Structure 1
Amino acid sequence: MKLPRLLTGVLLLLFLAAPAHAAPQVGHVRLAHLSPDTPAVDVYLYPFGGDRAKLVLNAVPYGGVSPYQNLSAGQYTVAMRPAGAGATTPPVLSANVRVEGGQAYTVAGMGPYKSIRLQVLNDSMELPDGKAGLRVIAASLKERVVTVSAGDVEEDLRFADTPEYTEVDAAMQKITAAAGDETATADVELAPGSTNTVVVLDGDRGLRLLPLTDAAAPGVTPEGAVDTGMGGLADTGPPVWPLALAGALALAVGAVLLRLRTPSGGTT
């Protein structure tokens, strides 16, 4: 009987047409305000060259960090305006960020108000088994130099420094930031394969530490990336090719069933 051969041929064709490994087409971006003497800002995220914002965060204060947001791979523009300013007001500063599929980024307002800048930080990296990535960002204006220690790692950081990740053991790590008589500590659980950031901020009294989990592991969605409630960021939706494959398969099966129900030599 020829019908099973027909169905087998259709399935084989569809299998060969499907990619063996579809490259991730979604990246993850979060936004941060880390300039101590800069008032609250409204943060806008646009597709590159567009004027319709995909995301608006209102009145983000110093130390504010958004959840990660899903973005289709491509280029985007981040703009900051004074809190409450109209959407057409010229931004105080802006920066472009190229989002790669499967990668995570932080776009942060850094430095003092008079020379604030937007800095794009790569939050992803590949790590050996049993290791985690840790970086500490110095965002304290009161203490221009802080000494940061985590396990056997110790480093002096100046205000607005954004160092690369350091490989450390994946374990509970005690992070300490000290400057003169000021000291702040935080116990941070570092998972294997994860990247993590601790931000040194000015607190009401002395220093304070803000621990952040970045990418859980290479190619793994960072925590918070599925939260699209901040500004109503549009969902990127599922990949197209599985839907096309399912549709083609349904058509092929339907054609076979139709022929099975049609008497030999008959018409439909």
Structure 2
Amino acid sequence: MRTRFVLVTAATLTAVVGLLSLGPVAAQAASPGGAAPAAVTAAASTTGWVRLAHLSPDTTGVDVQLTALSGGQVVDSLSNVVYGQVSNYMALPQGTYVVSMAPTGHSMSTPVIQTSINVTAGTPITVAAYGKNADLHSVVFTDDLTPPATGQSRIRVVQASTSVPTVDIATTTGVVVASDAAEGTATPYANVPAGDWMLSLTGANTTSTAQVSLPPGAVSTLFVLDNASGGVTITSVTDASSVGDLPTGGIQTGGGATGVHVAQAGEGSSVVGIGVPVTAAW
């Protein structure tokens, strides 16, 4: 599973994301002259981040293509993305793009799902296909990487399970994480004490528990997904591990951050999965 990227230098990335996280005051203080370096300012004013997620439990592997609406140029592609996988973030110039998904190895001329997205400078987004194969939907989630306070972790819940229409999630000590979260939606972000949490999920005729690790200073998404036995599971993705980090990609079963690749065209990158086998069909 590969896509193509060009890496921006580590120094530029750290500066750009630090500015995005800390706001215009930090940008003015970024250089002795009171203004951000020109390269950093230009990157922050023209670049957004996109990652792609396959959240349809009975859909087989798909090839994904990202095309610029203006001119129709293919700017990125992924091959054989399967259920529960998410790509690394791609840094793209601000603008409108078309995301197309087709069964692996099939022509993109007849995609099974296609949607247009707007990439906004300085804003990371997650584009997901979800729902059963017979009724696929697409949704765009805005990923807010504002860092939490010291000793805190910042989380939200994305409800992508097709087994239950809504879910409630709380810690085993009674702290509510999500209430009546509906399929295809994301809850607002909330700050919680960092550490290992035991979560209890309840929905129509189902209950489950899961332990997640929420590192201090991190921003995470908790995905609710179907499992192979017809129930549901919770898995955590660390979107950003600390102040100054770019968004990180990959649904995973632990709390660790994954590698970051950004931008325009060049190097290969993989997608990461969580291992929730289900019956797949087109």
TM-score using structure 1 length:
0.68
Deviation at 1:219, TM superposition (A): 6.3
Aligned with 2:219 (options 195, 208, 211): 195
Structure 1, unaligned runs of 5 or more: 1-14, 237-268
1:41–1:60 Cα contact (<8 Å) kept: yes
Higher-Rg structure is 1
Do structure 1's residue 133 and structure 2's residue 154 form an aligned pair? yes
1:146–1:158 Cα contact (<8 Å) kept: yes
Aligned residues: 218
Provide the residue aligned with 2:233 in structure 1.
Answer: 208
Deviation at 1:133, TM superposition (A): 2.5
Q: Distance in 2 between matches of 1:92 and 1:49?
A: 22
Aligned ranges 1:1-268 → 2 under 5 Å: 19=38, 22-23=41-42, 24=44, 25-87=46-108, 89-130=109-150, 131-150=152-171, 152-154=175-177, 155-179=179-203, 180-192=205-217, 194-205=218-229, 206-216=231-241, 220-224=245-249, 226-227=260-261, 234=265
Which deviations, in whole Å up to 9, do the C-alpha atoms of 1:69-115 show, x marking residues without a partner?
A: 2223332221112222113x222222222223332110001233333
More displaced 10-residue stretch of structure 1: 219-228 or 23-32: 219-228
User: Amino acid of the residue matched to residue 261 of structure 2?
Assistant: D
User: Amino acid of the residue matched to residue 142 of structure 2?
Assistant: N
User: Amino acid of the residue matched to residue 58 of structure 1?
Assistant: S
1:72–1:101 Cα contact (<8 Å) kept: yes
SS in structure 2 opposite 1:222? Answer: coil
Cα RMSD between the aligned structures?
Answer: 3.2
User: Amino acid of the residue matched to residue 41 of structure 2?
Assistant: A
SS in structure 1 opposite 2:85? Answer: coil
Which structure's residues are more often helix, by fraction? 1
1:70–1:235 Cα contact (<8 Å) kept: no
User: Amino acid of the residue matched to residue 234 of structure 1?
Assistant: A
Which deviations, in whole Å up to 9, do the C-alpha atoms of 1:181-217 show, x marking residues without a partner?
A: 531302222332x321111111123322221111346
Which deviations, in whole Å up to 9, do the C-alpha atoms of 1:120-156 show, x marking residues without a partner?
A: 1111243552343311122222233322124622423
**Percent of aligned pairs sharing the same letter:** 31
More displaced 10-residue stretch of structure 1: 129-138 or 212-221: 212-221
2:198–2:209 Cα contact (<8 Å) kept: no
Deviation at 1:171, TM superposition (A): 3.6
User: Amino acid of the residue matched to residue 182 of structure 1?
Assistant: T
Q: Distance in 2 between matches of 1:31 and 1:185?
A: 25
Provide the residue aligned with 1:246 in structure 2.
Answer: none
SS in structure 2 opposite 1:214? Answer: strand
Which deviations, in whole Å up to 9, do the C-alpha atoms of 1:155-178 show, x marking residues without a partner?
A: 232332322222323443333323
Which deviations, in whole Å up to 9, do the C-alpha atoms of 1:198-246 show, x marking residues without a partner?
A: 1111112332222111134676411257436xxx96159xxxxxxxxxx
User: Amino acid of the residue matched to residue 197 of structure 2?
Assistant: Q
- Which structure is richer in relative contact order (CA contacts within 8 A, separation 6 or more)? 2
2:170–2:176 Cα contact (<8 Å) kept: yes
Cα pair distance change 1:86/1:184, threshold 3 Å: same
